[in-house]
Amino acid sequence: MNLTLKIWRQKDAQDQGGLVEYQVENVSTEMSFLEMLDVLNEQLVAKGQDAVAFDHDCREGICGMCSLMIDGQAHGPDKAATTCQLHMRRYKDGDTIVIEPFRAKAFPVVKDLVVDRSAFDRIQQAGGFVSVNTGNARDANGILIAHETAEKAMDAAACIGCGACVAACPNASAMLFVGAKVSQYALLPQGQPEREKRALSMRAAMDEEGFGHCTNEYECEAACPKGIKVSNIARLNREYLRATIVSD
């Protein structure tokens, strides 16, 4: 299979950047999307050209680092999948594929397809944790939690922080990410002692990073590779409202 790739190339955050066209030949349908990019980079290096910089790590759909906009869709056309889980059998011979980095003010381009998503780390540091004393772990059955509640908390905890929700949102909002992190603990007994502080501090950190506001477009849920629901955004709003009242 032969493909035409239009890839965003940008030296650094100060460079204007632009799309560059490449031809890739003999692509196997069994390759993953990232393996196809590996083939391209091998060809570029063999010609003495700079390889295309792109983020990746586990290549198993776990870490979320493979953040690419593929033909205008975060992580590509497959639903509930990361870029590394996208395979070339999705395409046909002669196709043209446009590959760009995630675009958001809070995700500045580092180089080519790599963006700086440390804004998510700073939001997490603002309150996405539970403060506990060190020592032996408590018995798993020491705190009884209803099955439905535990399932909702686990669903929220499935967020891998890839940033697809931000890239897909027309406002570059991080509400789905923050909503998932706040929901994870708001639903559990362990998260109650810092409940108000968490909602206020994480929401404030999100605003400081320059993310946009949520206008209920639902693009975030559609793009999320882990199927995080927008109901977590509603819970975040309730937690934030509750925290402003209780803390006054």
For the sheet containing 3-9, what is the strand order?
A: 18-24, 3-9, 96-101, 68-70, 73-74
Q: What is the pLDDT of residue 86?
A: 97
In this structure, are strands 18-24 and 3-9 parallel, antiparallel, or unpaired?
antiparallel
Task: Mention every residue, 6+ apart, whose C-beta is less than 8 A from residue 121.
Answer: none
pLDDT of residue 70: 98
Q: How big is the CA angle at 159 (ends 135 and 129), to the nearest 5 degrees? A: 30
pLDDT over 90, % of the chain: 92
- What pLDDT was estimated at residue 143? 84
Helix (H) / strand (E) element for 7: namely strand 3-9
Overall average pLDDT of the 17-35 stretch: 97
Other CB atoms closer than 10 Å to residue 115's CB: what's the count?
24
- What is the set of domains in the chain, with CATH numbers? 3-111 (3.10.20.30), 117-247 (1.10.1060.10)
d(CA 12, CA 70): 21
Which SS3 state, helix, strand or coil, does residue 66 take?
Answer: coil
pLDDT, position 100: 98
The pLDDT score that the predictor gives to residue 11 is: 96
Output Rg (C-alpha) for the chain, integer angstroms.
20
Q: What is the pTM of this model?
A: 0.94
Rounded Cα gap, residues 81 and 181, in angstroms: 20
**Over 70: is that where the pLDDT of 232 sits?**
yes
Give the integer Cα–Cα distance in Å for 102 and 161: 13
Q: What per-residue confidence (pLDDT) applies to 66?
A: 96
Q: Cα separation of 96 and 175, whole Å?
A: 33
As a whole number, mean pLDDT of residues 51-55 equals 98
